[in-house]
Amino acid sequence: MARNPRYDILFEPVRIGPVVARNRFYAVPHAAGMTNSMPHMRAKFRETKAEGGWGVVCSGYVSIDPSSDDAPLPFATLWDEDDIRSHALMTEAVHRHGALAGIELWHGGGSVMNRSSRIPPLSPSGTSWMATHVNFMGNQRPQAMDTRDIRALLTWQAEAARKARSAGFDIVYVYAGMGYLPYEFLLSDWNQRTDAYGGSVRNRVRIVQELLEVTRAAVGDRCAVALRISLEELRSRPSDAAPSQAHEVVELLAEVPDLWDVKLDSSPTDCAPSRFAPEGSHEPIIEFVRKLTRKPVVGVGRFTSPDTMVGQIKRGVLDLIGAARPSIADPFLPRKIDEGREQDIRECIGCNICISSWHDSVPVRCTQNPTIGEEWRRGWHPERIAPAGTTASVLVVGAGPAGLECALSLGRRGYEVTVAEAADEIGGRLRFETRLPGLAGWGRVLDWRRGQLERLPNVNIYRGNRLTADDILGLGNTHVVIATGSRWARLLYSALEIPVGSLEGPDVFTPDDIADGARIEGPVVVYDFDNYYMGSALAEHLARLGQAVSYVTPAGHASAWAIMSNEQPQVHRALFAAGVALHTLSRVTGFEGGEVALAKQFTGASTRLACKSLVIVGARVANDSLHTALSARSQELATIQSVTRIGDALAPGAIVHAVYSGHRYARELDADPAALSYRRDAPLGRERATVMPGFAANEDLEKLP
């Protein structure tokens, strides 16, 4: 199909200093869990975006010196020759498809703990980031930088820029955002210096200008120099010389970089989940930058709609459409727009599972795109899949996330697929969950697969068909896939942090009961030890219906795991706004007489809460009775070669796990067993010593005996 002419503007080339991007699609720097320890995985992951039409493809954050060590989070390095060769794999792969390669040079300053290198961190005035959540806590505090440290920082940046040029990068970054070292100089909370680098905004911006200058001197006229900067906090602060300190900073540096990459300050706002922020949510903060500089500006906003992208360009907000999460969900987003296939875009749902993978220190995952991170190690491509290995027919029982992904991928391979769904509508758990506050966008998981399946003549979906073992045995399919999901259990939670002891009763409910239309009377207690989104979303939902709701959890925060997906701060705000009473570090131990009994998780101290309806959001168990029934009749299977469980029917988990499970089954059906294991990546180069900075000559050191 031909491209829609109204999107032509997105495919105009853009000059960035000495280089030219072939279009306005810019895959911004973002962590992906694939560092120098996985160079081939990293290269193939970024190459897939270039193949998919992105004009610029950037690395994740790359440390310029051992004094910037983010372990155990998966950060990359550019410290030596082996690192250059490792990154060159990526630039060569990206260049093969005509895209520019960008590198985000990074120093974490007082926001890192240097747990691995054990070098004292650096910050402008010795100030550190002291996070309130255990995942990001540390007990190593930074040293205040003196003039020698500032000179060293400039040297490290210049050396890393030269290495980046040698590795083949086209765009080299100075990173002054997200609480990292150059940003720390910009913000007065971090920077209490009284020398030329502190005090006024002009002084505080000095280090950023010098970093840009040494970067330009290092790369010459071969590479563009980009500035990535966070503007949210600076935008909120008054200035005597401009509408805000953010305006003043941009005015002072307006023409210094070749590219402005503008963003917000913290991960929960910069990469806000769709549950709490719409597409284009950055615009109110960053819209002024384009008015103050003649250099191109790139920004993000979880853009998936080409019309929204065009609007950003035409209204003078951005010159380049930046993306991290949308480029993960669909690396081929630009090409699909270029080919007039907008309906085929696999839109990001903003669940932030990709971000949680970085917090977990593993390669990136995606609810929408199960091939992400598997491009090299499993050979999976987001748009290509091997043809069917046989003429087998496949019956998929269940049309939830796992079943739909399995059927779609099998159908694309060419198998004859029948899907039997017991309910009148497909979607499984999504039918209910997308009706909860903020989760409507997750319906894209269902909508995209439904749209793709409707075009496959070899896939037939039968709704309202609850199959028994006898039914399946009589259908004569070659393979049977059980994708019947899971159900929430009425289990409680022990001091050993294990689900135990079923609690039954007419006023004890689970999310399944609410989904089925159960009448919930207040006051309500939502007891959440699942720790993801369901408990808090249900509490907010019931409060919006006018019920008095208390939220109880044995964890220290509401939706405790959601710190991994950037949701937790907003969850607390949403519960507060809805009037939900919060009880943390508490277990429900009983329910009778209109009260629930609580015990404090660590002390055992008891309290009671008024309660008419108790909603337990804890453990889930697989709906595997159909699989059990078929397994018991193995001698009657006749032509059925395999019966396999996938998704929640095998092991209950998040939607991302269900989709991946369904996709993996479809990829591996009839495959050579020898090809089913994945390749293990390894760093390039040999073990080497890294020269560590010594103590200052004027320090008093005790002589060891």
Question: Quick one: pLDDT at residue 705?
Answer: 33
Instruction: Please answer whether residues 479 and 413 qualify as being in contact, where contact means their C-beta atoms are separated by less than 8 angstroms.
Output: no
If you average pLDDT over residues 18-38, what whole number do you get? 96
Instruction: Please answer whether residues 462 and 421 qualify as being in contact, where contact means their C-beta atoms are separated by less than 8 angstroms.
Output: yes
Secondary structure (3-state) at 586: strand
Residue 703 is classified by DSSP as P
Beta strand pairing call for 479-482 and 393-397: parallel
Question: Quick one: pLDDT at residue 634?
Answer: 82
CA distance 176 to 193: 18
Query: Which tokens in the block code for residue 472?
Result: 């399946």
Residues in the chain: 705
Q: Write down the catalytic residue from 26, 61, 180, 183.
A: 180
pLDDT over threshold 70, residue 690: no
Active site residue 180: yes
If you average pLDDT over residues 553-573, what whole number do you get? 96
Cα angle 178, 228, 75; round to 5: 60
CATH 3.40.30.10 correct for 5-359: no
CATH H-level, domain 393-485+624-675: superfamily: NAD(P)-binding Rossmann-like Domain (3.40.50.720)
Which residues have a Cβ under 8 Å from the Cβ of 197 and sit 6 or more positions away?
Answer: 124, 150, 185, 191, 203, 204, 206, 207
- Model confidence band, residue 136 (pLDDT cutoffs 50, 70, 90): confident
Query: Which tokens in the block code for residue 667?
Result: 């990829």
Question: Quick one: pLDDT at residue 138?
Answer: 82
- Domain definitions of the chain by residue range: 5-359, 393-485+624-675, 489-621
Report the 10 Å Cβ neighbour count for 335: 17
3-state secondary structure 294-359: CCCEEECCCCCCHHHHHHHHHCCCCCEEEECHHHHHCCCHHHHHHCCCHHHCCCCCCCCHHHHHHH
Buried b / exposed e over 66-101, threshold 16 CB at 10 Å, is bbbbbeebbbbbbbeebbbebbbbbbebbbebebbb
- Model confidence band, residue 639 (pLDDT cutoffs 50, 70, 90): confident
Least confident of 255-259, 367-371, 698-702: 698-702
DSSP letter for each residue of 127-139: -----SSGGG---
| Lookup result for tokens 């769709």 | 274
Question: Quick one: pLDDT at residue 140?
Answer: 86
Residue 237, burial from CB neighbour count under 10 angstroms (0-12, 13-18, 19+): middle
pLDDT in tens, 507-546: 999 999 999 999 999 999 999 999 999 999 999 999 999 9
Architecture per CATH, domain 489-621, reads as 3-Layer(bba) Sandwich (3.50)
Beta strand pairing call for 606-610 and 595-600: antiparallel
Where would I find the beta strands (DSSP E) of 110-196? Answer: 122-123, 143-144, 171-176
Query: Which tokens in the block code for residue 35?
Result: 């560092």
Share of the chain above pLDDT 70, in %: 97
If you average pLDDT over residues 79-87, what whole number do you get? 97
Instruction: Please answer whether residues 586 and 577 qualify as being in contact, where contact means their C-beta atoms are separated by less than 8 angstroms.
Output: no
If you average pLDDT over residues 273-296, what whole number do you get? 96
Query: Which tokens in the block code for residue 251?
Result: 């005015």
Query: Which tokens in the block code for residue 62?
Result: 């790359």
> What mean pLDDT, rounded, does the chain reach?
95
Residue 155 is classified by DSSP as H
pTM: 0.95
If you average pLDDT over residues 259-285, what whole number do you get? 95
- Model confidence band, residue 696 (pLDDT cutoffs 50, 70, 90): very low
